[in-house]
Amino acid sequence: MAKRKAYSLLWRTSRCLSNYHSLHSGSPHSIRRFSSGSVFRLLTPCIEQLRKNYQLSFPISSECAGVLPNAVFQRSFNLRSRFYGSTATLIQRSPLFSEVNSDDVSYFKSVLGENNVIQDEDRLQPANTDWMHKYKGSSKLLLLPRSTEEVSHVMRYCNSRHLAVVPQGGNTGLVGGSVPVFDEVIINMSLMNKIISLDKVSGILVCEAGCILENLESFLDDEGFVMPLDLGAKGSCQIGGNVSTNAGGLRLVRYGSLHGNVLGLEVVLANGTVMDMLGTLRKDNTGYDLKHLFIGSEGSLGVVTKVSILTPTKLSATNVAFLACNDYLSCQRLLLEAKRKLGEVLSAFEFLDNHAMDVVLNKLEGARNPLPGMYNFYVLIETTGSDESYDREKLEKFLFGLMEGGLVSDGVIAQDINQVSSFWRIREGIPEALMKSGAVYKYDLSLPLEKMYDLVEEMRTQLGHPANVVGYGHLGDGNLHLNITYPQYDDAVSSCSNWRHC
Amino acid sequence: MAKRKAYSLLWRTSRCLSNYHSLHSGSPHSIRRFSSGSVFRLLTPCIEQLRKNYQLSFPISSECAGVLPNAVFQRSFNLRSRFYGSTATLIQRSPLFSEVNSDDVSYFKSVLGENNVIQDEDRLQPANTDWMHKYKGSSKLLLLPRSTEEVSHVMRYCNSRHLAVVPQGGNTGLVGGSVPVFDEVIINMSLMNKIISLDKVSGILVCEAGCILENLESFLDDEGFVMPLDLGAKGSCQIGGNVSTNAGGLRLVRYGSLHGNVLGLEVVLANGTVMDMLGTLRKDNTGYDLKHLFIGSEGSLGVVTKVSILTPTKLSATNVAFLACNDYLSCQRLLLEAKRKLGEVLSAFEFLDNHAMDVVLNKLEGARNPLPGMYNFYVLIETTGSDESYDREKLEKFLFGLMEGGLVSDGVIAQDINQVSSFWRIREGIPEALMKSGAVYKYDLSLPLEKMYDLVEEMRTQLGHPANVVGYGHLGDGNLHLNITYPQYDDAVSSCSNWRHC
């Protein structure tokens, strides 16, 4: 029974988690396979039992948006990573899964209505392909549920028919987590886009998983609050995907991770069970806090259908500075100084190297260098506080001190909202600019800060021409986006960039 | 096998989790029992399987400190709570558990050394009793492991012998979670008190579970960082207990919960397995984030032995104001205003009612009312920023506006560090003052803000003389400490304060 329950979601996890390789200190060159299926099979009865104990109706939903593969250095040089090679050679479609037939389609139409069962090739094509056009599935069916109940019906049916599914949100993910591997049924969450409630005293927002991040941001803006996360993909990515991928983004340095901000979730499990963990309290220590299992598990345990999230109070004054540093060490020292001297107002600390800047200036329409010259590194600092003039004065004083001390080589503070946007456009436009540069290999790494840029330089040395190795990311969080562009996708680059051969 | 593995920790959970009652909207008067034992039995094989998949040496450690029982209103009036009646009538010692014999003692001495196996009555007595002297166990054996390895040996042995254990940290908890129910072996973590590392760029601290919170705070202070949590019990409570109980405390409003700040844990499971989840990265999305299961699960899943925690940068300027409001509505509006106008510097927002103030002034040595008169409610606001004069000016301007608008009736800003301490002494001294007032029934509630104080007034009406119903707590987090003092412990009060009869 437990085995059957694992079926309907198993495929969806195949790229995200089944290809989980680990390198550990004890055996630095060994590679082991992490089977999410077995974990799922084990967790399902736990959740079932909890449901029985609580006598609760349990809600699973999630999708992938805006998150990159992770390769993580642990302490010294223990490496934990997920990587994604050529899927054709790694994954075979399991004969245990059924293929969609006309009876299935009829059933889905009876549950969701004619218009929300999509078989049209033109509409399926974008849902079968990721934003990078790197991963392509061949799903014949896309479903658009409008409620948790409908998601539950769909999941229960798929489970009973052994149909593989892939939950999908804004499909803005960069690692192929939100597109089918083979012919999975796509459960797209776009129609579950209602805001359910906002507590205007505490700032606790409850909404459906398909709400687009930017729409939530706009709604909150009118009410005097902000979302505690911000991504370049905010115009398309959905909150359910953000939660399922534990998206960090540009404000993590200020507001922390979703594990801290998500107060509750409603989730539909593979067998259709609805897990109601949709708490709306800032503190809730009753029982085990199971919602954390679904944050960042990329839909492999269930489909997030509703989210309760703590939103910070909106502060009126935002200032942005764009700075240049000559070396990486200066960037690190700048971060330390910013934390100490701008601590309470610091809301973003992003960096990019000159390779990233080059790509942006050459490939991104309308992008302009805010500084008169080119430097080795650039840092974008954003402050958010409650007093425009004081915050600005403080930032100016801070930057003046840095320039005097030689820590930054040049810098400019945005004078108006247009300049704020144009500074941010440089940082947020890097993925788009890279995509226009050829095949892109994307890595998302968490590293001890001091070691972070060594890796970029090492990759550059190893790969040589014609690879362009670019480093940028959230320096405030120790999170590096290492991207490699190449004229075309090439297995030699892929295997080298899978670390162990480099 | 799974059943056997559950033994050694089962008792420890008996008070904390086995008596978990839930009232839900569907059946508002029904009471259901939550069996932590069954959950533990289910989770153990999951963890075991993960260990096999990762081929990792899995580390467990935890204890209870500074956390109160939770009774939580969910959304409208759905109630989830844990409560603690007269343990004698609720729990029977299970014959499945063995009693400690001389062979056991010899084994423990061989592992821990003669001095770390305590059988002396005088030394056992304080470990058998909680801080409130409300819960008393009858353990004959207290063990003081010095390393994860020793904890693992002890747990493995207890498991094989079916000896119940209770992990214990600073034993500052107020709900009896850190003392034995019967004759459990006490595993006291005090000797595991080493700081392992501090990354001075990122502020990531790694330490053993037995480190006293205040000692960590002092260590970090010298290095330019602060702990992201602060409790009245900081002089005794230990970080392992803080984590295991998901302690919130006075800075939650600024730095958020431990789910956001704890980056990694090392935990020893009931069967001695060591789970190494001791990550030191701010972002780590690899695999399932299992550490969250141990945060707030009160030692029922394992003993936390090491903690990795993100510590914020120390900011130099702290200001504290002590304000009076005439009604609870004004306190709520004050909170909203403070979030909007002091948002980036607000580090605490605590409130107490006049009953709490009375008790403090009458029972707490050296406590003085900072204001000339008595009011219905008091609010303590703390700001922490990087600029002493500006922050103070900002606070003064804020308070002036409030007084002009009539939102606060009176207020004073601390002029020096002594006044800061004396203002905090009032708020932090409430539990001590209450304890000197007779029998104390303590409740820790998370409620929607607007409903929070209704409950205090309702309890006051229901209980009448000679009960003294006191309300105070972390208004910024929607967290009320409802305390009732009575001349002596009385089952009539207990049953009434268990809500369903009121």
Answer for the pair B130, B168: CB distance below 8 angstroms, yes or no.
no
Q: Which residue of A has its CA nearest to B475?
A: A202
**Number of domains observed in the structure of chain B:** 3
Picking from B43, B75, B282 by the largest number of A CB atoms within 10 A of its own CB, the best residue to mutate is B282
Q: From A178, A204, A159, select the one nearest A7 (Cα to Cα).
A: A159
How far apart CA A456 and CA A287 sit, in angstroms, is: 44
Q: From A381, A386, A255, select the one nearest A314 (Cα to Cα).
A: A386
Claim to verify: residue A388 and residue A432 sit in the same structural domain: yes
Please say which residue of A278, A310, A342 terminates a domain: A310
Q: pLDDT of B196-225, one tens digit each?
A: 999 988 899 999 999 999 999 999 999 999
Claim to verify: residue A321 and residue A401 sit in the same structural domain: yes
Report chain B's C-alpha Rg in angstroms: 23
Q: pLDDT of A206-216, one tens digit each?
A: 999 999 999 99
The label of the residue with tokens 């994604």 reads: A84
How far apart CA A330 and CA A376 sit, in angstroms, is: 11
Q: Does the structure show a pLDDT above 60 at B52?
A: no
One-letter amino acid of A142: L
CB contact under 8 A, A313 and B386: no
Highest mean pLDDT among A80-84, A281-285, A306-310: A306-310
Q: Is residue B34 part of a domain?
A: no
Give the CATH number of the domain where residue B131 resides: 3.30.43.10
Claim to verify: residue A221 and residue A325 sit in the same structural domain: no
CB contact under 8 A, A282 and B246: no
Residue B494's pLDDT is what? 63
How far apart CA A292 and CA A297 sit, in angstroms, is: 9
The partner residues of B264 in beta bridges, in order of sequence, read B308
- Place A492 in a pLDDT band, splitting at 50, 70 and 90: low
Residues of A in contact with B332 (CB under 8 A): 201
Which of B35, B53, B292 is the closest to A53 by Cβ? Answer: B35
CB contact under 8 A, A282 and B252: yes
Q: pLDDT of A228-250, one tens digit each?
A: 999 889 999 999 999 999 998 88
Q: Is residue B130 part of a domain?
A: yes
Claim to verify: residue B354 and residue B437 sit in the same structural domain: yes
Please tell me the distance in Å from B427's CA to the nearest CA on chain A.
20
Answer for the pair B265, B207: CB distance below 8 angstroms, yes or no.
no
How far apart CA B376 and CA A178 sit, in angstroms, is: 55
Residue B266's pLDDT is what? 97
Q: Average pLDDT over chain A, rounded to whole?
A: 80
Q: Is residue B291 part of a domain?
A: yes
Question: What's the rounded mean pLDDT across residues B34-53?
Answer: 35
Q: Which residue of A has its CA nearest to B386?
A: A341
How far apart CA B118 and CA B115 sit, in angstroms, is: 7
How far apart CA A157 and CA B248 sit, in angstroms, is: 42
Question: What's the rounded mean pLDDT across residues B340-364?
Answer: 93
Answer for the pair A18, A76: CB distance below 8 angstroms, yes or no.
no
Claim to verify: residue B345 and residue B405 sit in the same structural domain: yes
Residues of A in contact with B201 (CB under 8 A): 332, 335-336, 449-450
CB contact under 8 A, A81 and B201: no
CB contact under 8 A, A289 and B288: no
- Name the least confident of A17-21, A80-84, A322-326, B297-301: A17-21
Residue B194's pLDDT is what? 98
Q: Does the structure show a pLDDT above 70 at A139?
A: yes
Question: What's the rounded mean pLDDT across residues A158-164?
Answer: 95
Interface contacts (A, B; CB < 8 Å): 236
Residues of B in contact with A260 (CB under 8 A): 256-257, 259-261
State percent of chain B over pLDDT 70. 80
Q: Residue B329: CB partners within 8 Å, gap ≥ 6?
A: none
One-letter amino acid of A485: T
Q: Residue B269: CB partners within 8 Å, gap ≥ 6?
A: B5, B44, B47, B58, B60, B155, B275, B301, B302
Claim to verify: residue B170 and residue B263 sit in the same structural domain: no
Q: Which residue of A has its CA nearest to B260?
A: A260
How far apart CA A353 and CA A471 sit, in angstroms, is: 6
Residue A46's pLDDT is what? 37
CB contact under 8 A, B49 and A56: no
One-letter amino acid of A430: I
Q: Which residue of A has its CA nearest to B316?
A: A340
Q: Which residue of B has its CA nearest to A394?
A: B387
Q: Which residue of A has its CA nearest to B206?
A: A75
- The angle that helices B388-405 and B328-342 make with each other, rounded to 10 degrees, is 140
One-letter amino acid of B33: R
Tokens for A179, please give them.
């597109």
DSSP states of B153-174 as a string?
Answer: HHHHHHHHHT--EEEESS---S
Answer for the pair B186, B141: CB distance below 8 angstroms, yes or no.
yes
Q: Average pLDDT over chain B, rounded to whole?
A: 80
User: Measured on CA atoms in the order B20, B24, B26, B27, is the torsion positive or negative?
Assistant: positive
How far apart CA A380 and CA A366 sit, in angstroms, is: 18
One-letter amino acid of B469: V
Q: Is residue B145 part of a domain?
A: yes
Answer for the pair A282, B252: CB distance below 8 angstroms, yes or no.
yes
Higher pLDDT, B420 or B201: B420
Helix (H, G, I), strand (E, B) or coil at A135: coil
C-alpha dist (Å) from residue B464 to B408, B445, B493:
29, 21, 11
Query: How far is C-alpha B472 from the chain's CA centre?
Result: 16
Higher pLDDT, A150 or B2: A150
Q: pLDDT of A344-366, one tens digit each?
A: 899 999 999 999 999 999 999 98
Please tell me the distance in Å from A61's CA to the nearest CA on chain B.
16
Claim to verify: residue B355 and residue B430 sit in the same structural domain: yes
Please tell me the distance in Å from A116's CA to the nearest CA on chain B.
32
Picking from A39, A259, A337 by the largest number of B CB atoms within 10 A of its own CB, the best residue to mutate is A259
Claim to verify: residue A211 and residue A180 sit in the same structural domain: no
Q: Is residue A235 part of a domain?
A: yes
Q: Residue B302: CB partners within 8 Å, gap ≥ 6?
A: B9, B60, B61, B62, B267, B268, B269, B270, B275, B294
Q: Does the structure show a pLDDT above 60 at B66?
A: no
Residues of B in contact with A293 (CB under 8 A): 288-290, 292-293
Helix (H, G, I), strand (E, B) or coil at A51: helix
Residues of B in contact with A340 (CB under 8 A): 224, 313-315, 386
Higher pLDDT, A225 or B48: A225
User: Measured on CA atoms in the order A287, A290, A292, A295, is the torsion positive or negative?
Assistant: negative
Higher pLDDT, B414 or B38: B414
Please say which residue of B310, B329, B349 terminates a domain: B310
Tokens for A103, please give them.
């009876």
Residue B81's pLDDT is what? 41
pTM: 0.81
- Whether the link from the prior residue into A466 is cis, omega within 30° of 0, is yes
Q: Does the structure show a pLDDT above 50 at B372?
A: yes
How far apart CA A286 and CA A42 sit, in angstroms, is: 23
Tokens for B315, please give them.
């900011």
Picking from A75, A231, A277, A281 by the largest number of B CB atoms within 10 A of its own CB, the best residue to mutate is A281
Helix extents (H) in A364-472: 388-405, 417-428, 430-435, 449-463
Q: Does the structure show a pLDDT above 60 at B71?
A: no
Picking from A257, A301, A306, A397 by the largest number of B CB atoms within 10 A of its own CB, the best residue to mutate is A257
Please tell me the distance in Å from B21's CA to the nearest CA on chain A.
9
Answer for the pair B146, B192: CB distance below 8 angstroms, yes or no.
yes
How far apart CA B190 and CA B167 sit, in angstroms, is: 11
Answer for the pair A194, A207: CB distance below 8 angstroms, yes or no.
yes
Residue A378's pLDDT is what? 97
Tokens for B115, please give them.
């001095």
Q: Is residue A333 part of a domain?
A: yes
In this structure, what are the phi and psi dihedrals at residue B19, rounded to the nearest 5 degrees? -95, 50
Residues of A in contact with B393 (CB under 8 A): none
Claim to verify: residue B298 and residue B349 sit in the same structural domain: no
- Place A9 in a pLDDT band, splitting at 50, 70 and 90: very low
Answer for the pair B184, B164: CB distance below 8 angstroms, yes or no.
yes
Q: Which residue of A has its CA nearest to B297?
A: A288
Tokens for B244, please give them.
């295991």
The partner residues of A348 in beta bridges, in order of sequence, read A382
Give, for B350, the enclosing helix (H) or strand (E).
Answer: strand B346-353
The label of the residue with tokens 């119903």 reads: B469
Residue A90's pLDDT is what? 62
How far apart CA B372 and CA B369 sit, in angstroms, is: 7
Q: From A266, A319, A3, select the one nearest B75 (Cα to Cα).
A: A266
Tokens for B32, please give them.
């259901």
Claim to verify: residue A300 and residue A341 sit in the same structural domain: no
Q: How many CB atoms lie within 10 A of CB B316?
A: 14
Please say which residue of A165, A188, A211 terminates a domain: A188
DSSP designation for A115:
G
Higher pLDDT, B351 or A68: B351
Q: From B239, B22, B232, B275, select the one nearest B131 (Cα to Cα).
A: B232
CB contact under 8 A, A285 and B313: no
Residue B479's pLDDT is what? 84
Answer for the pair B372, B489: CB distance below 8 angstroms, yes or no.
no
Give the CATH number of the domain where residue A225 resides: 3.30.465.10
Please tell me the distance in Å from A488's CA to the nearest CA on chain B.
28
Range of the domain at A202: 195-310
Give the CATH number of the domain where residue B445 resides: 3.30.70.2190
Q: Is residue A452 part of a domain?
A: yes
Claim to verify: residue B128 and residue B263 sit in the same structural domain: no
Give, for B347, the enclosing helix (H) or strand (E).
Answer: strand B346-353
Answer for the pair A350, A472: CB distance below 8 angstroms, yes or no.
yes
Residues of B in contact with A477 (CB under 8 A): 282-283
- The angle that helices B388-405 and A388-405 make with each other, rounded to 10 degrees, is 180
Please tell me the distance in Å from B461's CA to the nearest CA on chain A.
26
How far apart CA B204 and CA B198 sit, in angstroms, is: 6
CA atoms within 13 A on the CB side of A78: 14
Please tell me the distance in Å from A352's CA to the nearest CA on chain B.
19
Q: Does the structure show a pLDDT above 90 at A141?
A: yes
Its ipTM equals 0.80
Q: Is residue A70 part of a domain?
A: no
Claim to verify: residue A477 and residue A382 sit in the same structural domain: yes
